[in-house]
Amino acid sequence: MNGKLWAGRFNTGQDNLMEQFSESISYDKRLYKYDILGSIAHVKMLAKQSIILQEEAEKIIDGLRKIERQIEAGEFEFNPQDEDIHMAIERALINLIGKVGGKLHTARSRNDQIALDERLFLRDISIEIIDRLNGLLKNLALFAKEHIDVIIPGFTHMQHAQPILFSHYIMAFFEKFKRDKERFLDTIKRIDVMPLGAGALAGTIWPIDRRYTASLLNFTQISKNSIDAVSDRDFMIEFLNNCAIFSMHASRLAEDFIIYSSSEFSFIELPDEFSTGSSIMPQKKNPDSLELIRGKTGRVYGNLFTLLTVMKGLPLSYNRDMQEDKEALFDTIDNCLMIIDILSKLIPKIKLNIDEIEKSLEKGFITATDLADYLAFKGYAFRDAHKIVGSIVAYAITKNKTLKELTLEEYKQFADQIEEDVYDYIDYRRSVDKRKSFGGTSRANVLEQIEEALKSFDEKSSHVDLCPRCSYPIKIYKNPSLTVDCIIEKDNKVLLINRKNYPFGFALPGGFVNYGESVEQAVIREVKEETSLDIVEPKLFGVYSDPERDPRSHTVSVVFYAKASGTPKASDDAEDLGFFDLDNLPEHIVFDHLKILKDYYEFRKKI
């Protein structure tokens, strides 16, 4: 007999080989926390919509929380016969609380369930990666500041090019990793879409409230197409692409440090803690940590292409091929987090070999470009100056001399305009400090960049600023935003809108005050935009400023009450609207509008 929860249509059990081949619980058990979180929100919604009884919902939620505690304590037995984390938790729930546990999956499919789990998981992981990248960025900026006066050869084609500040070189990687952080931040917008309610692919006949579920799970958006919701892994591919670009930057840094730590360069010495020795050659100190970063980048690339290849030929909508997304995802995350942590710890412990660096600065005619600029300042066309300096370099090579070792008489063989001041131009220290163009390598430029970077890492911003309710990365402004709300009463009923945007639920009509607008003008405009009603002479009711009143940010609301004319029609932020008895208000009222209405009810009794 087939013991699967989906076994009703089958006459025989599944072959053991097929079970081994198809199970994913050995790795997707990592999603248990998010699967349970999504299930609890789903059950609360089912009860709110009277699809299941409240006492049934409470029993299911208690069971789910008990299972979560068992998993966290290592007491839960994962069985490959359950296939995946969804079935494992549901089977355990039914065993724990009986048949009522089978109601958990009402109005839900594993197709929208796994899409939800992955989005919840990636939202949290993205924030963790951003937070750790901030630590790496801060260490890079501090390391650059510590070595602000060190000059090294800059390279193009791995040949000596021009002198640069070592700190300028380090801050180049700061910029690369900063862009990586910004990419992860931007991708969260596309991860933050709630797919639950899409069902297998066509939606559901049950009267579910997706906005309510989204608000419980702190999603700011809801998927608009059920087929797309269950077949989409774009958000994951984009996340993996971000990881691949980050890994590429980390690999380039690792490659440079491997080269600079070699005996041929000896610019830097790597810390013992992140190096290894040889089993046969006792003198060796190998840069294994950096080599592994370089090597693991190949794995990260491979995981990205795994998912691209899996998805490239899939017909809509869900297919079992998509199960293969998780191992690639988890492996990428684990490796990227490790790479960030390794670099964050390694970089501050690197030592510079100043003597070797200065010896290298004397090689390669590194100030030849400065000599060409010198001739251009003397009146030569730059292309002619370039040709003359090329001849001077060729001559110096035959004489086994550096540019500063050539005599003035030797220089004048190539250009009469060369004077004694030429030696100032070919001094690499002066060369660096003359590069004052924005973004150039002069000390003032680089120090300004470093200070600007470090300023962003004060005590409060040592991690990503997060929404206090949903952990969504947001920019925090020190001043609260000003909003207005309006109480419109008719026949002892109050007008409420059902919001189409986050936070989802019922609310008084209102919104943000525009720059240059009075609060009276703002409330008239907002009521018109959301309800199509006209109000005149709104009267001040009160001001509400609880910092927690709005889950998006700190707002202060100036609340009015007014009479309205016209036919109410929902628009703008309003999905729909209606008049409600003050004694029989909707269950899910957002912001602090329930408190406002209760205060208004008390106010009314006095007038």
Terminal CA-to-CA distance of the chain, rounded, Å?
A: 73
Q: Which of 22, 26, 262, 278 is catalytic?
A: 278
Measured CA to CA in angstroms, residue 327 lies from 143, 304, 333 at distances of: 36, 11, 10
Measured CA to CA in angstroms, residue 607 lies from 16, 404, 541, 603, 604 at distances of: 76, 94, 13, 7, 5
Helix pair 110-146, 166-191: axis angle to 10 deg = 160
Amino acid at residue number 326: K
Provide the 3-class DSSP secondary structure of residue 456.
coil
Strands 151-156 and 159-165: antiparallel
Q: Decide: 293 and 250 in contact? Cβ < 8 Å.
A: yes
Residue 157 among the catalytic residues: yes
DSSP 220: S
DSSP 273: G
Hunting for tokens 């000896």 — which residue is that? 266
Name 559's bridge partners: 485, 542
Q: Decide: 165 and 441 in contact? Cβ < 8 Å.
A: yes
Measured CA to CA in angstroms, residue 339 lies from 128, 129, 241, 290 at distances of: 14, 11, 16, 9
Residue 554 among the catalytic residues: no
Cα 283 to its chain centre, rounded Å, is: 43
- What's phi and psi for 342, nearest 5 deg? -60, -50
Specify burial of residue 17 (Cβ count, 10 A radius: 0-12, 13-18, 19+): exposed
Q: Which of 157, 279, 437, 565 is catalytic?
A: 157
Rg (CA), the chain: 33
Q: Decide: 417 and 375 in contact? Cβ < 8 Å.
A: yes
The Cα–Cα gap between 363 and 365 comes to 6
Catalytic residues, by residue number, are 157, 278
